[in-house]
Structure formats: structure tokens, C-alpha cells
């Protein structure tokens, strides 16, 4: 089973061996929690050894959904930023007055002053 760790990154969870699956899920939760919230979760060894697998899977699902939602929000922000840049570029290009290509120094003085 593959889980999304960050945009473009996945982590493989080995579901064949229960011990390996627990270790993979704990590693995934630890790393993804750091990526999403900026800090690693705090747990002790006793909790990590005794927490039910269903809870670990549920937490991994929640974190994966958070990663996917943040990626979608980041894409939406980038689309808005690009649209604003295009709008600004169009406004600037429309605001510029065309200047004639003649080399006479005062030929277009009236255009420049008006």
C-alpha cells in the first residue's frame, strides 16, 4: 500500500507482516505529521507498542487527506496568483501609449504631454 507523504512523494506500507506494518505506519505518521504541522508527534514506546492498528490506519488516513487538501489549496493559490499576474500585465500593457518610431526629437512631444 502506498501513502502520500508530501506532494510528489509516497511511502510504501508493508501490510504482509503486522510488525512491519506497525513500524511503517508509525514512521509514516511521524514524518507526515512533521510535514503537515511542523513538528513531530510526541509518544512514548509503550503507547507505540500498544496502540491498535485500526487507530494507526485511521490517523494515517487523516494525515494523508490533510496532505492532499493542502496540495489542492496550494495549487488554487498558485492559480489565483498567476491570474492576478496576467491581469496586472494586461493592465500595464493597455496603459502604455504607443510612441511613434520617428527619430525626430520633438515629433511626438504632443503625444507624450497629453
Residue by residue, DSSP assigns 33-62 as HHHHHSSPPP--HHHHHHS-HHHHHHHHHH
- The reported pTM is 0.66
In angstroms, what CA-CA distances link 80 with 77, 84, 87, 89? 5, 6, 10, 14
Half-sphere exposure of residue 31: CA atoms within 13 angstroms, side-chain side: 14
Q: What phi, psi does 15 have (nearest 5°)? A: -95, 0
For residue 26, give the H/E element and its range.
helix 18-37
pLDDT tens-digit series, residues 35-77: 888 898 888 888 888 899 999 999 999 999 999 998 899 999 9
In this prediction, residue 75 carries a pLDDT of 94
Q: How far is Cα 31 from Cα 39, in angstroms, rounded to an integer?
A: 9
Q: What percent of the chain has pLDDT over 70?
A: 80
- DSSP state at residue 106: T
Amino acid at each position: 500500500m502506498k501513502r502520500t507523504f508530501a506532494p510528489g512523494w509516497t511511502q510504501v506500507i508493508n501490510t504482509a507482516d503486522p510488525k512491519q506494518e506497525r513500524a511503517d505506519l508509525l514512521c509514516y505518521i511521524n514524518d507526515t505529521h512533521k510535514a503537515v504541522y511542523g513538528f513531530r508527534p510526541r509518544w512514548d514506546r509503550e503507547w507505540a507498542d500498544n496502540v491498535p492498528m485500526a487507530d494507526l490506519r485511521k490517523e494515517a488516513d487523516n494525515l494523508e487527506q490533510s496532505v492532499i487538501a493542502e496540495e489542492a489549496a496550494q495549487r488554487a493559490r498558485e492559480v489565483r496568483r498567476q491570474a492576478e499576474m496576467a491581469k496586472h500585465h494586461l493592465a500595464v500593457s493597455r496603459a502604455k501609449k504607443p510612441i511613434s518610431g520617428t527619430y525626430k526629437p520633438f515629433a511626438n512631444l504632443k503625444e507624450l504631454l497629453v
